[in-house]
A and B are shown apart, each in its own frame.
Chain A
Amino acid sequence: MSESAVLEIHDLVVHFETRRGFRQRTTVRAVDGVSFDISQGEILALVGESGCGKSTIAMSVMRLLAPTSGHILVEGRDLASLRGRELRRARQRIQMIFQDPFGSLDSRQTVYESVAEPLVVHGLGRQGEERRRRVLAALDLAHLRPPERLAANYPHELSGGQRQRVAIASAMVLEPALVIADEPVSMLDVSARAGILRLMMDLRDRTGVSYLFITHELAVAWMVADRLAVLYLGRVVEIGTSPEVVAHPAHPYTRALLEVTSGDGELGEGAVLAGETPSASRVPEGCRFHPRCPLYAERGQPEVCRTQDPTLCGVGRAAPGEREHLVACHFPDTDDRGAP
């Protein structure tokens, strides 16, 4: 754990109790023990398919929902212990960008009003001139130029990429320490994505802001993130630097993701991982991936996979100064065998 950690998550657990019918009560284990940290100026990507818990983690960090257990420390402070004005002040340090660029902006507000909103909410930039300066600076930072002209537009007059930039400007106007980006480019056209990703990296370089980048696309994470964590059914199954994880994936799930993303040409039906991700209310015993794991089948269904939940262990490849490559698997691939 680095001293300049902007975000620290320790054993985060988020379980939802649902009641189906009169007597049945099921527990949806959305997040089942996740730990990671983000240093200052770092971009960490959470990669996983729907149901893996990545959005739930984001909501927990933003305190839009309360975790079942675990600790979330923002700049060293546990948000759970803060109340009222202190909590609101702490919220300034984390901002969020959502997947839907149109849905996250108020269609009745101009771009200026949307970007000024955080300032208004926190009572900052009291003199009109100061506020205006900050808004225009944020718009400019988000490459929305000329800022004065675009500030008067309404969301429906802008393209998807521009709207997302407005959302980014609104997140940056408070100069936060951490920005959580939940699938920021999935609803954008492929040609517009690069611009947004480049912007985000540019902002990191210029202001030192950190990102928690959530995506279901491994390729996007690879391009933009320093480190990436692969999630499956509420758990981190692999975490390491982007080049390392993509070049030497140690977990079979990561390998499967890589294969469908980067492989090309005809896909035999056998090459794709079979089945579907089980529901988070029925997490498999032992290693949660074992029912679909090709290694499990290959190795004759070893008992350890059925009974023991693997923990994150080092893969032993990190150079000095580099962050470790960790994987949660009983039979991780530590040679180059699996790289596609």
Chain B
Amino acid sequence: MSLAEIVQETEDESRRSRPGIWRQLWHDRMGRAGIITAIVMLLVIGVGPVIFPFNAQAFGISAASILQGPSRAHWFGTTELGQDVFREFLIGGRISLYVGGSATIIAIVLGAGLGLISGYYGSWRDTVLMRFTDFFLVLPTLPLIIVLAALFGQSILVTSLVIGLTSWPQTARIIRSQVLSLRERPLVLRIRSMGARDVRIMGKHILPNVAPLIFANLVLVLSGSILAQAALAFLGLGDPVQVSWGTMLHNAFDSGAMSAGAWWYVLTPGAGIVALVLAFSLIGHALDRVLNPLRRGRP
């Protein structure tokens, strides 16, 4: 038996007695930590602004309300404009997640789609698509967003687009390699020999078997996108109107918050970014461990 067959048989046998993917994720320490953190963060971001509806126009009235430390009135202090940091945090979270999410969708749809076609058809289609992918792989994020921002203005749309366009090659490669191996499985040969159309084979037999991998990749791309968005916003390339956590950090540094000792202004969005990115990262890696039989450590 070849190693691949041994792996397949181990996989098949364990599938018989294996609990669902979510249950397994829960058992994994990393996965559990990630899930809990993600749920907490999502609750905070999602429900927070509803529970704590702040007046959007509540700018500071006097100089005394600028860059104030945490107090009863302002749990996390105030910004350089006298806004409540907590409120900004709650709203900023939504923006960060929204951009991260949109970028991820672009990346996954493009990446999985191209990976699927490339891996399934092979030959010239594969070559062409892979060269196309290589082109995007080497595209540098920063210059791209600067150019696009100059052309179309700074907005969350542009940010999402840029992050999406520079993240999809990774996904494409991973999916392509999985599809390449699935394609040689007796199952696919059998369906092809039946005379099924390619679209049917890809949609009904290959895609569902690649879905778990796509999902694991999605989670990791999400975590990366959120971080990328924060970084771009921090550099001042994000949407100045729709304030995200990255923008908050940008504003904080811009207004000299650090030198003024206003640590609450930096720590709050910073901790938020770390928590969110870490959560999805943990889930993504735990998923990879759960789905990959070779890494599970059983003979």
A contact residues vs B (CB 8 Å cutoff): 62, 64, 87-88, 91-92, 94-96, 98-100, 102-108, 117-118, 121-122, 156-157, 167, 170
List the B side residues contacting A102 at CB < 8 Å: 8, 12
List the B side residues contacting A121 at CB < 8 Å: 191, 194-197, 200
Instruction: State how many residues of chain B have any CB contact under 8 Å with chain A.
Output: 20
A64 touches B187 (CB 8 A): no
Q: Is B189 an interface residue (CB 8 A)?
A: yes
B196 touches A104 (CB 8 A): no
List the A side residues contacting B16 at CB < 8 Å: 156-157
Bound together, the chains give a CA A170 to CA B45 distance in angstroms of 51
What sequence of 0s and 1s flags, for each residue 184-213 of chain B, a beta carbon within 8 Å of any chain A beta carbon? 011101111111110010000100110000
A105 touches B187 (CB 8 A): yes
Q: Is B15 an interface residue (CB 8 A)?
A: yes
Bound together, the chains give a CA A216 to CA B196 distance in angstroms of 29
Bound together, the chains give a CA A103 to CA B181 distance in angstroms of 12
Closest 5 CB pairs of A and B: A91-B195, A104-B186, A98-B186, A103-B186, A121-B196
Which of A62, A105, A107, A157 is within 8 Å of B193, CB to CB?
Answer: A62
Which of B189, B192, B194 is within 8 Å of A118, CB to CB?
Answer: B194
List the A side residues contacting B205 at CB < 8 Å: 106
Bound together, the chains give a CA A99 to CA B2 distance in angstroms of 14
Bound together, the chains give a CA A108 to CA B212 distance in angstroms of 12
Which of B8, B15, B197 is within 8 Å of A103, CB to CB?
Answer: B8
Give 11 A-B contacts (CB < 8 Å), ordered by A residue. Answer: A95-B194, A98-B189, A99-B186, A102-B12, A103-B8, A104-B185, A105-B187, A107-B12, A117-B191, A121-B195, A157-B16
Bound together, the chains give a CA A317 to CA B200 distance in angstroms of 51
Please give the distance in Å from A244's CB to the nearest CB on chain B. Answer: 32
Please give the distance in Å from B210's CB to the nearest CB on chain A. Answer: 11
List the B side residues contacting A122 at CB < 8 Å: 194-195
List the B side residues contacting A105 at CB < 8 Å: 187
Bound together, the chains give a CA A91 to CA B195 distance in angstroms of 6
Please give the distance in Å from B179's CB to the nearest CB on chain A. Answer: 15
Bound together, the chains give a CA A113 to CA B189 distance in angstroms of 17
A104 touches B194 (CB 8 A): no
Bound together, the chains give a CA A94 to CA B192 distance in angstroms of 12
The residue of chain B having its C-beta at the shortest distance from the C-beta of A167 within the complex is: B190
Q: Within residues 138 to 182 of chain B, which ones have a CB less than 8 A from any CB in chain A?
A: none
A96 touches B12 (CB 8 A): no
